[in-house]
Structure 1
């Protein structure tokens, strides 16, 4: 029982690191996006992340993932690390931040539906209720931040495609973590994503020469922290819970984005925005709570691996 409790606490801590860093990514994308095109920004971010992850793998002597994991790694790399980052960057240039947040937050709902269908994830009432509350909060935040007439059909479609790619990538990654370590899954998924984005290499080279140092540093930050570190802690937590519960956890991101925009950019949120953020956090708390004190171990959660593996981040 103590080992189970320790595993749950470590997974919760890893998930917290992920949502904080992913929230910070929205601020950095807004800064770097003014100097870099969507594809170039995605490629620069992925290359920075891949270099950091490869260095850690060499130090830890991780080696290659098992053959059985490559199919899932390839799918998640193409969908989540590659396609998702490009279309999200592009979509956020076409619509206002509120509309982007509204559409992209369909992702956790799609994860729950796909997880139940393909991974046989349980759908307890508390998870469903928490997701409903969080989605209502995300809608509130989005509406409060939306600009009248600031959206385009293309932008909405791009954000919807990003949400679908995000959900597909998460569901594809979940089975991988039964045989590969979180660091392996993240490193090689990031490498696959970088390969997918190589057609934007020419744009990246030309834009680096003209971009201000602050934009380039933000791109590198996106690669090292919200990608290399946050995707690894995500995989660590995902290996120990269901895809549906992890998807619900990301509803904390809109609330944190509001707070970070306030602190870093001086964008004072209105009462409606603050109320929406509070709903997001309340829904996450409900979705991660358990009905009883003797709850069963998470569905599909693997047994803890020996200490010599890369399960600790």
Structure 2
């Protein structure tokens, strides 16, 4: 299976008898890109507000635009304002990743960082001068302003906790690898079970809370389950695209665990087919969220076949 190939005809959207022409396609692309540009400006403003968090060279202007494009094309019917929390949570994760993967010198630093973040998630004040907790407090307040938040607060907190905890677990694996202890490295299944460090499940539940779409809210439990499976596919797609960079940066990648590209590609295909099976019963009753999750897979498959979100060190 070539995971970077275009979807086969059996997976192609069912369009009208007369497909859109070049003008229609350009109108659609231009509309979505306009929303992405507006969203990117908001992300640049966020980065300027928290320079200590986003001053790392690899988090550059291209990163902001790539995040904005991913969410705009993932929800092409929504405007930039509707996608603001998805964009901001995704950007926050870039800052978190940089601190955990490249700035922390000891496990205790990550544990302390996690405690600070969870305290803010639970309503505490951000640490003075700490862009990570300050930006998280802004995100928390926006999510909490939604009428859907009281019912889904525990879900939001759980997904954030999973994201933070996964970072600690990966730190342990990387430390073992650096020490030459291959017996402590995870199996592929263990590695994928830790895909919460990718963060998309937390982004998704944050987006769903702020959107407050009744059909989505009525099906949050199965959607979260599918979101975790989608996250596994995105983790592997990212790993296929970034192996050389991960080796150079000292990051962990599935291909460092004895998993070949063919095996990773086959596993991605299995996960995607499983996601389709899980999504099928929800399509009629929950069209917005099911399309949102499926577009995440399609967009990421194409995007990671060509590019990546991070800039150069």
Structure-2-length-normalised TM-score? 0.31
Q: Tell me the TM-score normalised to structure 1 length.
A: 0.31
